[in-house]
Structure 1
Amino acid sequence: MSHELRPEFHGDIDSMRQSIAHLGSGVVELIPRVTDILLNQDLDGAERVIVGDDEFDAESLDTEERALKLLALQAPVASDLRQVAAALKLAPEIERSADLCCNICKAARRIYPHDLSPALRGTIQKLSDQAQSEYRAAIEAYLAVDDARAAALPDMDDHLDELHRQFVQQIFEIHAGEQLELQVAVQLAMVARFYERLGDHAVNIADKVRYIATGWMPEHDSAARHHARLAESGGGGPGDR
């Protein structure tokens, strides 16, 4: 039906989208905050972020429940259906991103009171800046339903993956020179992984944006390759068994 015939329904969809955007913007703001906590050894700040994660959990759950209600009661179709289906994936995706920020705070508490070298601090800042840049781009693409911008996220994430690799190598080299305790080295390696995973979540959000805009999903390409290989080999699909 048209927007004119279902104004309340489309108002609910707009409200659901704003909730997703609010959750995502919260993570965009949280990434530099937890980085400052880590670099400045701010234990009080770490505790506030960890306690505050309950708010993310509650808002994510509320958004999922609203999407399920729309799906069950309004029978959306076409682009409206894609919006609701994407929201069911996006809310927990963003909630897990907030969990990663909490994990950085927990690592900060475990690293305390060890000082980090300027080189390590510099790379941590680069990881944080790149993760935030990707996440902001993903949320902006979601708000604009911008397929082109969403499609650029994997290329952006390649840079974060390279920073992650460099940082882990840096950690091992400093530890090998007996300038970094093993426990601290392990925690820093985990921190690097948390930033890298934030980038992965941004890419996943971008994939959902592309699905909303065009109906495309990465799984479609994988399935097409699989069916092409089956056709080349003369094999059958599941229905032929």
Structure 2
Amino acid sequence: MGEDLRASFHEKLDDIRTGIARLGAGVTELVPRSTQILLDGDLEAAEYVILGDDDYDHRSLELEEMCFSQIALQAPVAGDLRAVVSAIKIIADVERSADLCVNICKAARRIYSHELDSHLRGMIHKCGSQASLLFKEATEAYLHTDGARAAALHDMDAYLDDLHRQFIQTIFESHANGSIDLQVAVQLAVVARFYERIGDHAVNVGERTRYIVDGWLPDAPYPESDNELAPAERRPPTD
């Protein structure tokens, strides 16, 4: 690229990065909001989040189009190409995480008026807090192109995976002692999966941030999801 073209490209890339960071910050706030909606059984707030998903979709599409435009007009190579391709994939991870928050709100509508015991409520709160923290760290790592911060996300996700297992065990115990019926247990198991998937998307953002920094790739692809409860596939970044 010529100097003027490079300056224009990096300005556009900064705009894309900032736009993605704003979307990520929105998801960081949306996770605890959806969690509280689930705990409170707040149908009005649930509807507000569900209807608001169109805005996330629209903003994600705009950012993707900006990325494709830069590829078409600037033909970036090496590190610049890694940055644009990774941005496209990160946009998808952020948008799908927003979808998962919407799914939590839909689950809140399905179990409306059913009481949850203190153990279940505690696990929901813990999973929501950890998922939100993961997404916050992933967003900050990407915004500041911080490879070390991105690498730390794996350990944070391991803790969320452990909370997911504890949550499932608590669901079984609550159903066994008659605190919740089978349909509520099923819905909560689905919610537990949603939190786990939000963590997976945050790790994806971290991995793609590391790819931008130095071309790092995972040793092997992660297994793909094979059910509709996890709409996104976890794959390593590609150029």
In the superposition, the TM-score normalised over structure 2's length comes to 0.89
Mapping for residues 1-241 of structure 1, pairs under 5 Å: 1=1, 6-218=6-218, 221-222=219-220
Q: How many angstroms does 1:143 deviate by?
A: 0.9
- Matched letter for residue 126 of structure 2: K
Q: Distance in 2 between matches of 1:44 and 1:179?
A: 26
Checking the alignment, whether the CA contact within 8 Å between 2:134 and 2:199 is kept in structure 1 is yes
Checking the alignment, whether the CA contact within 8 Å between 2:5 and 2:74 is kept in structure 1 is no
Checking the alignment, whether the CA contact within 8 Å between 2:117 and 2:179 is kept in structure 1 is no
Q: How many angstroms does 1:119 deviate by?
A: 1.0
Over 3 Å counting, the alpha-carbon distance change for 1:3 and 1:140 in structure 2 is farther
Over 3 Å counting, the alpha-carbon distance change for 1:49 and 1:82 in structure 2 is same
Q: How many angstroms does 1:5 deviate by?
A: 5.6
Checking the alignment, whether the CA contact within 8 Å between 2:131 and 2:198 is kept in structure 1 is yes
Q: Which one has the largest radius of gyration?
A: 1
Q: How many angstroms does 1:222 deviate by?
A: 2.8
Checking the alignment, whether the CA contact within 8 Å between 1:3 and 1:10 is kept in structure 2 is no
> Higher mean Cα deviation, 75-84 or 45-54?
75-84
Deviations 1:106-153 (CA, angstroms, capped at 9, x unpaired)? 000000011111111111100011101111110110011111111111
Over 3 Å counting, the alpha-carbon distance change for 1:44 and 1:76 in structure 2 is same
Aligned residue pair count: 221
Deviations 1:132-180 (CA, angstroms, capped at 9, x unpaired)? 1111110110011111111111111111001000110111111011221
Sequence identity, in percent?
59
Higher helix share: 1
- Matched letter for residue 222 of structure 1: A
- Matched letter for residue 90 of structure 2: L
Deviations 1:182-212 (CA, angstroms, capped at 9, x unpaired)? 1111001111110111100000000000000
User: Could you say what secondary structure the match of 2:20 adopts?
Assistant: helix
User: Could you say what secondary structure the match of 1:6 adopts?
Assistant: helix
Q: Distance in 2 between matches of 1:33 and 1:5?
A: 42
Checking the alignment, whether the CA contact within 8 Å between 1:93 and 1:201 is kept in structure 2 is yes
Gaps of 5+ in 1: 224-241
Checking the alignment, whether the CA contact within 8 Å between 1:137 and 1:149 is kept in structure 2 is yes
Q: How many angstroms does 1:78 deviate by?
A: 2.1
Deviations 1:73-104 (CA, angstroms, capped at 9, x unpaired)? 10112221111011111111110000000000
Q: Distance in 2 between matches of 1:5 and 1:92?
A: 27
User: Could you say what secondary structure the match of 1:178 adopts?
Assistant: coil
Flag as ranges the 4+ runs of structure 1 deviating above 3 A: 1-5
Checking the alignment, whether the CA contact within 8 Å between 1:32 and 1:128 is kept in structure 2 is yes
> Aligned Cα RMSD in Å?
1.3
Gaps of 5+ in 2: 222-239
